[in-house]
Every structure is written in C-alpha cells, then in structure tokens.
Structure 1
Amino acid sequence: MQVNSDFSRTAALKTCQYQWVQSTQPGVERAMLDRIGKERARATSIVRYHPGSLFPTHTHPGGEEIFVLSGAFSDQSGDYPQGWYLRNPPGSYHAPFSREGTTIFVKLWQMQPTDKHVVRINTNDPASWTMKNGRSVCHLYRDRIESTSLQKLTENEKLFSAGYPLVPSELLVLSGSVIYNDIEYIEGSWLRLAKPDLQSVTAGNSGTTVYLKVGEFQNVSHEGSM
C-alpha cells in the first residue's frame, strides 16, 4: 500500500479529509497519513481506540513513536493520558489497550536500527518546556537524523524563523491552527513539507501548538508493523 509515499512532494491533510479504516483488531481504527507497505509498514497514522479495545502483544522491529491526543493510552509500562509522548526503540514489544478510549498519533518503522532510547515525556508538565529564541518549546527527541519537539506559536508567528535549517519537516496541529499556502489547517491537521521556506507556515489568529519533526527521517523506509 502506498499513501503519500513520494517524500519529494509536500502532503497536507485537514481533519475532514481523514479516511478512517478498521484495523486488524475490533474497536481500533486508523487514518493513514503516509504509508509504505501492507499490514507491516513504514507508516504515519492517527489511531483511534474505542473503550476497552486492545492489540495483542507484538514487536516493533523498526520502533514506534506515539503522541497521545485524547483519552488515555496504556500498555504494560503504564497509563498515559492526553499530552504524553512515548518512544519505543527498534526491537521493543508491548500489548497496547485503552480502558476509556484514546486517539493517538503514531509513527512506525522510522527510527535508526541503532536507536535504543526509551522515552516517556509528560508535555503537560511545565518543567518539560523551555524558552528558545523567545518561543516556548518542549524537546521530545534529538539525534543526528531528526529533531522532534512541541512548539507554541503566538498569533500570526512564522514557524520557520531566520536561520532555521530548511530541511524536510512534518507537523501535526495540536491546538489552534496554521496557515500554509493561504489555507488554514485547524487542530488535528497534518502536514509534511518536502522543502519548507521561511514564509511557508504561520500560526493562525489565536496562536497554535504544533508537534514538529525536522530532519532526514523520510529516508528510512523499511517494512514495519501494526
């Protein structure tokens, strides 16, 4: 299966454009944002667990990255309500479930094989945030390939400021909205920018918070899982 699989091209989806499909497990649906492969795929998705739904124990040979958008996500390592960031390295395994229901942002098989980092960050904790160049930032992960963070933008603020490395970038709108090519993308929208420029993305009139990943992560393309 190929969904937005040409990483030389920009892809952008509003929430109203998401197409929800049933996963292999009852009560778990997903909206595919980009995907290369079949059931075991390099994939970026929004995944929705209905209350009481689960996945059996499975491994993630290429790693898994999760951001909890609503409800509470759980596995054998604990319970993670809205705002938690989880990073499970290649070779990890778990049996995820949700008692009350949850919606999560998931990236599969997009880590380096040598990555061994297990990350758990509560982005609701003020201590997780710092000020960088006048902007509130929550750093989630960084290595030689990628930099991942949450960023809070004020009204009409440009996402990419002068001096910002203009490399491929991906963002998920967590609150408020962003304007890209004169189109407004509200909360829940996803954009993958192949060649961003300094003028390409600005916050909406009420400001915004975005998940932002920048780097050469698009070059990782293996068969994954889930």
Structure 2
Amino acid sequence: MKLHTDYRQRVVIDTTAMDWTPSPLPGVERKPLDRDGAEVARATSLVRYAPGSSFSAHTHGGGEEFYVCDGVFEDEHGAYPAGTYVRNPIGSRHIPKSPQGCTILVKLWQFEDGDTAQFSVDTVTAEWRPGRVPGQREILLHQFGDEVVKLIDFAPGCTSLFHAHDGGEEVLVLSGTLSDEFGDYPAGTWYRVPPGSSHTPFSRDGCRIWFKAGHLPPRAKLPGL
C-alpha cells in the first residue's frame, strides 16, 4: 500500500472526518495518514484501542514513536497516560494493551541509524520552555541529528517567525486552531509539508501542536528533483 509517499507534496488531512478502519486484531482501529508497505510498513497513523483491547507481541524492526492523545496506553514497561511521548528504538519488543482505551499518534520504521534511545516523556509534568517568540512555549521531546520533536503551545494572538524547513515539517493539531498564510488547521488536523517549504504560523485563539521537523529527505535527494 502506498499512501502519501511523495514527500515533494504538501498533505493536509482533517482526521476528524476520516472513518476508523479495523486492524488485524479486534478492538484496535486505525486512521492511516501515510504508509509505504503492507502490514509491516513505514507508516504514520492514528490508532484507537477500545477498552480492554490489546495487540500481539511484536518487535519493531524499524523503531516506533508515539504520542498518547487520550486515554492510557500500556505495555509491560509501564502505563502511559494522555500527553505521554514514547520512543521504542529498532529491535525493541513489547505487548501493547489499553484496559481503559486510548488513541495514539504512531510512527513506524522512521528511525535514523544510531538513534537508539528508549524513553518516555510525560508532558503533563515536564517543564515548558520559552519558544521562539513571546506567547510561544515548548517541550523538547526528542532530538537526533537534524530531527527534532516538540510539543508547542501558541497563546492567543501569537505569531511565530517566518521560517523554512529544509527537512520538512509534520504537525498534529491537538487543540485550538493553528494557521498560516495557506489556511487554518483546527484540532485533529494532520499535515506534512515537503523539504524546502516555508511559512509563518500563528494562532488567533491559541493552540497546542505535536511538531516534528528535519526528518524528511533533503529536497536535493527527493525523486524527480
């Protein structure tokens, strides 16, 4: 399966308008955002666990990172409530479950060689740092090479700096509405913009976003360029 695998293209998805599709295991459903492969694939998805559901034991051949949007995700390593960011590197293994039910944003097979850290960050208790401009604050979740992952808050009326993303940018709007010169992105919007793209993000009423940048191939290495 190939879904949004052309990284030269800008992709904007209202995930609230998507239907959930069943996974191979009962009680676990998905909304695919990008995918390159079959059941084992380079993929970005929203995954919903019904209360009491679980997934079979598996090894992450290409690594896994996820952010818990709601509920509580669990495995043999611990319980991860809403607001937790988790990285499971290449070769890690676990048995996911959710007695209470949960929804996660998950990315598979997207780790760089040498990125071997396994950890979790509870953003509910983590320390916020000042962002790039007044009215913006952030929590650094992960950084390796050119890749950076953050949680970012925009206060009402906050406008960030004009900037370009040499390694692309990917955002899930968790609450409120993020905007830029290309449009408005209310809560539940996922977008991915290609390497070399630029914009000036702002928020009229305030918002919170999960943000990832620097992880896409440089524009010069993209097919057809």
The answer to whether the Cα contact below 8 Å between 1:145 and 1:217 also exists between their aligned partners in 2 is no
The list of structure 1 runs, each at least 4 consecutive aligned residues, that deviate by more than 6 angstroms after superposition, is none
In structure 1, the residue matched to 2:221 is none
Structure 1 pair 156–7 and aligned structure 2 pair: CA distance change class (3 A): farther
In structure 2, the residue matched to 1:223 is none
In structure 1, the residue matched to 2:2 is 2
The code of the aligned residue for 2:17 comes to Q
Summarize the alignment of residues 94-105 of structure 1 with structure 2, pairs less than 5 Å apart.
94-105=94-105
The code of the aligned residue for 1:144 comes to G
The answer to whether the Cα contact below 8 Å between 1:62 and 1:113 also exists between their aligned partners in 2 is no
Matched, 1:216 2:215: yes
- Mapped partners of 2:59, 2:164: distance in 1: 34
- Mapped partners of 1:12, 1:218: distance in 2: 19
| CA deviation after TM superposition for structure 1 residue 78, in Å | 0.5
- Mapped partners of 2:90, 2:101: distance in 1: 26
The answer to whether the Cα contact below 8 Å between 2:115 and 2:144 also exists between their aligned partners in 1 is no
TM-score, with structure 2 as normaliser: 0.89
- Mapped partners of 1:182, 1:152: distance in 2: 20
In structure 2, the residue matched to 1:17 is 17
SS of 1:197's partner is strand
| CA deviation after TM superposition for structure 1 residue 165, in Å | 4.7
Unaligned runs of 5+ in 2: 219-225
In structure 1, the residue matched to 2:146 is 145
SS of 1:26's partner is coil
| CA deviation after TM superposition for structure 1 residue 188, in Å | 1.6
- What is the aligned-residue RMSD (CA, Å)? 1.7
Matched, 1:130 2:135: no
- Mapped partners of 1:165, 1:78: distance in 2: 38
**What fraction of aligned residue pairs are identical, expressed as a percent?**
37
Q: Deviations over 1:153-191 (max 9, x none)?
A: 1224334x14x4522100000110112455332212101
The code of the aligned residue for 1:148 comes to V
Unaligned runs of 5+ in 1: 220-226
The more displaced of 208-217 and 52-61 is: 208-217
In structure 1, the residue matched to 2:199 is 198
The answer to whether the Cα contact below 8 Å between 1:110 and 1:217 also exists between their aligned partners in 2 is no
In structure 1, the residue matched to 2:40 is 40
Summarize the alignment of residues 156-195 of structure 1 with structure 2, pairs less than 5 Å apart.
156-159=157-160, 161-162=161-162, 164-167=163-166, 168-181=168-181, 183-194=183-194, 195=196
Structure 1 pair 36–156 and aligned structure 2 pair: CA distance change class (3 A): farther
Q: Deviations over 1:94-120 (max 9, x none)?
A: 000000100000000000132210121
The answer to whether the Cα contact below 8 Å between 2:164 and 2:197 also exists between their aligned partners in 1 is no
SS of 2:51's partner is coil
- Mapped partners of 1:207, 1:45: distance in 2: 25
- Mapped partners of 2:107, 2:29: distance in 1: 15
The answer to whether the Cα contact below 8 Å between 1:122 and 1:128 also exists between their aligned partners in 2 is no
In structure 2, the residue matched to 1:57 is 57
Q: How many residues align?
A: 214
- Mapped partners of 2:30, 2:217: distance in 1: 21
The answer to whether the Cα contact below 8 Å between 2:16 and 2:188 also exists between their aligned partners in 1 is no
- Mapped partners of 2:130, 2:169: distance in 1: 21
